[in-house]
Amino acid sequence: MTLVDAHIHLPAYGGDAGPLRVALARSMCLISCTVNASEAPAGERSRLEAPRNVRSFVGVHPSDVTRELPSERLAPFLEGCDGIGEIGLDEKYSTTSDGGAQMEAFIDQLRVAERLGKPVQVHSRGSEKRCLEVLGTFNLKKVLMHWFEGEPQLPEVIARGYFVSVGPALLYSKKIRRIARSLTPGSILTESDGPVSYGPLGGANGPNLIPSVLFGLAAIRGETYDDLERRVGENAKAFLSEERLI
Ligand SMILES: [Zn+2]
Protein backbone atom coordinates (compact mmCIF):
# COMPACT_ATOMS: atom_id res chain seq x y z
CA MET A 1 0.00 0.00 0.00
CA THR A 2 1.06 3.57 -0.55
CA LEU A 3 0.57 6.65 1.61
CA VAL A 4 -0.47 9.70 -0.38
CA ASP A 5 0.27 13.37 0.18
CA ALA A 6 -1.86 14.76 -2.62
CA HIS A 7 -0.93 18.40 -2.03
CA ILE A 8 2.51 19.52 -0.85
CA HIS A 9 4.70 22.44 -1.88
CA LEU A 10 8.09 20.75 -2.27
CA PRO A 11 9.72 23.85 -3.85
CA ALA A 12 8.82 25.83 -0.71
CA TYR A 13 11.17 23.62 1.33
CA GLY A 14 14.09 25.41 -0.35
CA GLY A 15 16.29 22.39 -0.92
CA ASP A 16 15.53 20.72 2.42
CA ALA A 17 15.35 17.03 1.47
CA GLY A 18 13.32 16.13 4.57
CA PRO A 19 10.02 15.47 2.80
CA LEU A 20 11.71 13.36 0.12
CA ARG A 21 13.44 11.28 2.78
CA VAL A 22 10.07 10.70 4.46
CA ALA A 23 8.51 9.74 1.13
CA LEU A 24 11.26 7.22 0.37
CA ALA A 25 11.30 5.76 3.87
CA ARG A 26 7.52 5.40 4.12
CA SER A 27 6.82 4.51 0.49
CA MET A 28 4.77 7.63 -0.06
CA CYS A 29 3.55 9.37 -3.17
CA LEU A 30 3.92 13.17 -2.97
CA ILE A 31 2.00 15.34 -5.42
CA SER A 32 4.03 18.53 -5.41
CA CYS A 33 2.73 21.89 -6.62
CA THR A 34 4.01 25.42 -7.09
CA VAL A 35 2.66 28.88 -6.32
CA ASN A 36 4.45 30.57 -9.22
CA ALA A 37 6.57 29.83 -12.30
CA SER A 38 9.90 30.45 -10.60
CA GLU A 39 9.24 27.43 -8.35
CA ALA A 40 8.69 25.11 -11.29
CA PRO A 41 12.36 24.03 -11.77
CA ALA A 42 12.57 23.00 -8.10
CA GLY A 43 9.46 20.86 -8.47
CA GLU A 44 10.96 19.15 -11.47
CA ARG A 45 14.22 18.55 -9.59
CA SER A 46 12.35 16.82 -6.78
CA ARG A 47 10.68 14.54 -9.29
CA LEU A 48 14.08 13.72 -10.84
CA GLU A 49 15.49 12.91 -7.40
CA ALA A 50 12.65 10.53 -6.51
CA PRO A 51 10.78 9.81 -9.75
CA ARG A 52 8.67 6.99 -8.35
CA ASN A 53 7.57 8.96 -5.30
CA VAL A 54 7.07 12.49 -6.64
CA ARG A 55 4.64 13.98 -9.14
CA SER A 56 5.24 17.55 -10.21
CA PHE A 57 2.36 19.96 -10.79
CA VAL A 58 2.98 23.54 -11.90
CA GLY A 59 0.71 26.53 -11.49
CA VAL A 60 0.30 30.10 -10.31
CA HIS A 61 -1.55 30.44 -6.99
CA PRO A 62 -4.05 33.28 -6.42
CA SER A 63 -1.53 34.88 -4.04
CA ASP A 64 1.03 35.19 -6.85
CA VAL A 65 -0.95 36.26 -9.90
CA THR A 66 0.28 39.15 -12.02
CA ARG A 67 -1.07 40.63 -15.22
CA GLU A 68 1.19 38.26 -17.15
CA LEU A 69 -0.71 35.12 -18.13
CA PRO A 70 0.53 32.02 -16.25
CA SER A 71 0.55 29.92 -19.42
CA GLU A 72 3.33 32.13 -20.79
CA ARG A 73 5.57 31.96 -17.74
CA LEU A 74 4.87 28.24 -17.26
CA ALA A 75 5.22 27.35 -20.94
CA PRO A 76 8.53 25.40 -20.69
CA PHE A 77 7.02 23.12 -18.02
CA LEU A 78 3.49 22.49 -19.22
CA GLU A 79 3.98 19.50 -21.52
CA GLY A 80 6.18 17.61 -19.08
CA CYS A 81 4.36 18.28 -15.81
CA ASP A 82 2.01 15.78 -14.18
CA GLY A 83 -0.75 18.34 -13.62
CA ILE A 84 -1.67 21.97 -13.09
CA GLY A 85 -1.69 23.41 -9.58
CA GLU A 86 -1.99 25.14 -7.25
CA ILE A 87 -4.51 27.36 -9.02
CA GLY A 88 -7.78 28.93 -7.94
CA LEU A 89 -9.49 31.93 -6.44
CA ASP A 90 -9.18 33.63 -3.04
CA GLU A 91 -10.63 37.03 -2.10
CA LYS A 92 -8.00 37.37 0.61
CA TYR A 93 -5.36 38.34 -1.95
CA SER A 94 -7.24 40.49 -4.47
CA THR A 95 -10.59 40.70 -6.19
CA THR A 96 -11.85 37.55 -7.88
CA SER A 97 -14.30 39.36 -10.14
CA ASP A 98 -14.48 38.87 -13.89
CA GLY A 99 -11.67 40.54 -15.79
CA GLY A 100 -9.42 40.78 -12.71
CA ALA A 101 -5.95 39.23 -12.69
CA GLN A 102 -7.00 36.31 -10.44
CA MET A 103 -9.91 35.26 -12.62
CA GLU A 104 -7.88 35.67 -15.83
CA ALA A 105 -5.05 33.55 -14.40
CA PHE A 106 -7.45 30.84 -13.20
CA ILE A 107 -9.20 30.63 -16.57
CA ASP A 108 -5.91 30.69 -18.47
CA GLN A 109 -4.59 27.73 -16.47
CA LEU A 110 -7.84 25.77 -16.73
CA ARG A 111 -7.64 26.19 -20.51
CA VAL A 112 -4.17 24.66 -20.43
CA ALA A 113 -5.36 21.75 -18.28
CA GLU A 114 -8.27 21.12 -20.60
CA ARG A 115 -6.14 21.29 -23.74
CA LEU A 116 -3.40 19.03 -22.38
CA GLY A 117 -5.73 16.68 -20.50
CA LYS A 118 -3.94 17.26 -17.17
CA PRO A 119 -5.44 17.01 -13.67
CA VAL A 120 -5.78 20.20 -11.59
CA GLN A 121 -5.38 21.09 -7.91
CA VAL A 122 -7.75 23.90 -6.90
CA HIS A 123 -7.48 26.42 -4.06
CA SER A 124 -10.98 27.73 -3.34
CA ARG A 125 -10.86 29.30 0.14
CA GLY A 126 -13.88 31.58 0.59
CA SER A 127 -14.58 31.40 -3.16
CA GLU A 128 -15.96 27.89 -3.40
CA LYS A 129 -19.12 28.84 -5.26
CA ARG A 130 -17.28 30.99 -7.80
CA CYS A 131 -14.61 28.31 -8.33
CA LEU A 132 -17.27 25.71 -9.07
CA GLU A 133 -19.02 28.01 -11.52
CA VAL A 134 -15.79 28.53 -13.46
CA LEU A 135 -14.71 24.87 -13.26
CA GLY A 136 -18.11 23.86 -14.62
CA THR A 137 -17.42 25.67 -17.88
CA PHE A 138 -14.41 23.45 -18.66
CA ASN A 139 -14.07 19.85 -19.68
CA LEU A 140 -11.41 18.83 -17.20
CA LYS A 141 -9.87 15.42 -16.85
CA LYS A 142 -9.66 15.31 -13.04
CA VAL A 143 -10.15 17.94 -10.35
CA LEU A 144 -8.86 18.00 -6.77
CA MET A 145 -10.41 20.53 -4.38
CA HIS A 146 -7.61 20.91 -1.83
CA TRP A 147 -8.37 21.78 1.85
CA PHE A 148 -12.00 22.26 0.80
CA GLU A 149 -14.22 24.16 3.26
CA GLY A 150 -17.33 24.87 1.22
CA GLU A 151 -19.93 22.77 3.03
CA PRO A 152 -22.89 24.09 0.99
CA GLN A 153 -21.09 23.20 -2.23
CA LEU A 154 -19.95 19.74 -1.13
CA PRO A 155 -22.84 17.81 -2.74
CA GLU A 156 -22.05 19.47 -6.08
CA VAL A 157 -18.33 18.69 -5.74
CA ILE A 158 -19.15 15.04 -5.11
CA ALA A 159 -21.75 14.90 -7.89
CA ARG A 160 -19.17 16.15 -10.36
CA GLY A 161 -16.73 13.40 -9.38
CA TYR A 162 -14.13 15.81 -8.03
CA PHE A 163 -11.65 14.70 -5.39
CA VAL A 164 -11.31 16.41 -1.99
CA SER A 165 -8.03 16.25 -0.10
CA VAL A 166 -8.31 16.28 3.68
CA GLY A 167 -5.36 17.50 5.72
CA PRO A 168 -4.15 17.78 9.31
CA ALA A 169 -6.84 20.40 10.14
CA LEU A 170 -9.12 17.38 10.39
CA LEU A 171 -7.52 16.66 13.74
CA TYR A 172 -8.89 19.87 15.34
CA SER A 173 -11.52 21.41 13.02
CA LYS A 174 -15.17 20.46 13.47
CA LYS A 175 -16.00 21.78 10.03
CA ILE A 176 -13.36 19.66 8.30
CA ARG A 177 -14.61 16.64 10.27
CA ARG A 178 -18.14 17.20 9.03
CA ILE A 179 -16.86 17.47 5.47
CA ALA A 180 -14.69 14.37 5.88
CA ARG A 181 -17.68 12.40 7.13
CA SER A 182 -19.77 13.41 4.11
CA LEU A 183 -17.23 12.48 1.44
CA THR A 184 -17.91 9.44 -0.68
CA PRO A 185 -15.25 6.70 -0.59
CA GLY A 186 -14.22 7.51 -4.15
CA SER A 187 -13.65 11.21 -3.49
CA ILE A 188 -11.18 11.15 -0.58
CA LEU A 189 -7.51 12.04 -0.76
CA THR A 190 -5.04 13.03 1.99
CA GLU A 191 -2.70 16.02 2.06
CA SER A 192 -0.27 17.88 4.31
CA ASP A 193 -0.08 21.18 2.38
CA GLY A 194 3.53 21.24 3.67
CA PRO A 195 5.40 23.29 4.62
CA VAL A 196 2.25 24.79 6.19
CA SER A 197 2.55 24.12 9.92
CA TYR A 198 -0.36 23.52 12.26
CA GLY A 199 -0.38 25.52 15.49
CA PRO A 200 -3.00 23.34 17.22
CA LEU A 201 -0.75 20.34 16.45
CA GLY A 202 2.30 21.94 18.08
CA GLY A 203 3.60 23.34 14.80
CA ALA A 204 3.85 19.92 13.13
CA ASN A 205 4.00 19.93 9.34
CA GLY A 206 4.79 17.86 6.27
CA PRO A 207 4.15 14.34 5.00
CA ASN A 208 4.87 12.72 8.37
CA LEU A 209 1.37 13.89 9.32
CA ILE A 210 -0.36 11.75 6.69
CA PRO A 211 -0.73 8.60 8.87
CA SER A 212 -2.36 10.75 11.59
CA VAL A 213 -4.79 12.16 9.02
CA LEU A 214 -5.62 8.61 7.92
CA PHE A 215 -6.20 7.50 11.53
CA GLY A 216 -8.44 10.52 12.09
CA LEU A 217 -10.38 9.84 8.91
CA ALA A 218 -10.79 6.17 9.73
CA ALA A 219 -12.16 6.97 13.20
CA ILE A 220 -14.56 9.63 11.93
CA ARG A 221 -15.85 7.49 9.08
CA GLY A 222 -15.99 4.22 10.99
CA GLU A 223 -13.58 2.49 8.63
CA THR A 224 -10.34 0.66 9.24
CA TYR A 225 -7.02 2.39 8.69
CA ASP A 226 -5.95 -0.23 6.16
CA ASP A 227 -9.12 0.03 4.10
CA LEU A 228 -8.86 3.78 4.03
CA GLU A 229 -5.17 3.74 3.08
CA ARG A 230 -5.98 1.36 0.25
CA ARG A 231 -8.89 3.50 -0.88
CA VAL A 232 -6.86 6.73 -0.88
CA GLY A 233 -4.18 4.98 -2.94
CA GLU A 234 -6.79 3.91 -5.49
CA ASN A 235 -8.19 7.43 -5.60
CA ALA A 236 -4.73 8.91 -6.15
CA LYS A 237 -4.22 6.57 -9.11
CA ALA A 238 -7.55 7.69 -10.53
CA PHE A 239 -6.70 11.36 -9.98
CA LEU A 240 -3.36 10.96 -11.78
CA SER A 241 -4.71 8.48 -14.37
CA GLU A 242 -1.90 6.08 -13.50
CA GLU A 243 -1.94 2.30 -13.17
CA ARG A 244 0.36 2.28 -10.14
CA LEU A 245 1.73 4.92 -7.82
CA ILE A 246 5.16 3.65 -6.84
ZN1 LIG B 1 -1.21 24.65 -0.96
pLDDT digits (tens, 9 = 90+) for 181-214: 999 999 999 999 999 999 999 999 999 999 999 9
CB 245 within 8 A of CB 236: yes
Share of the chain above pLDDT 90, in %: 98
For all residues of the chain together, what is the average pLDDT? Answer: 97
Q: Give the tens place of pLDDT for each residue, 163-175.
A: 999 999 999 999 9
- 182 alpha carbon to ligand 1 midpoint, in Å? 22
Distance CA 123, CA 193 (A): 11
For ligand 1, the distance from its centroid to the CA atom of residue 169, given in whole angstroms, is 13
Ligand 1 centroid from CA 10, angstroms: 10
> For residue 102, what is the DSSP state?
H
- What is the spatial distance between Cα 200 and Cα 168, in angstroms, rounded to a whole number? 10
Q: Residue-wise over 114-135: b if at least 16 C-beta within 10 A, else e?
A: beeebbbbbbbbebbebbbebb
| Phi, psi dihedrals of residue 42, rounded to the nearest 5° | -65, -35
Q: Kind of pairing, strands 54-58 and 28-32?
A: parallel
Is the peptide bond preceding residue 195 cis, with omega within 30 degrees of 0? yes
Over 90: is that where the pLDDT of 1 sits?
Answer: no
**Residue 9 CA to ligand 1 centre (angstroms):** 6
If you measure from the C-alpha of residue 145 to the centroid of ligand 1, how many angstroms do you get, rounded to a whole number?
11
Ligand 1: centre distance to CA 194 (Å) = 7
Contact call for residues 114 and 107 (beta carbons, < 8 A): no
Q: pLDDT confidence of 29, banded at 50, 70, 90? A: very high
Query: Looking at residue 194, what is its pLDDT?
Result: 97
Ligand 1 centroid distance, CA of 224 (Å): 28
Q: How much distance in Å is there from the Cα of 7 to the middle of ligand 1?
A: 6
pLDDT tens readout for residues 82-110: 999 999 999 999 999 999 999 999 999 99
pTM: 0.97
> pLDDT tens digits for 48-73?
999 999 999 999 999 999 999 999 99
Distance from residue 129's CA to the centre of ligand 1 (Å): 19
CA of 240 to the centre of ligand 1 (A): 18
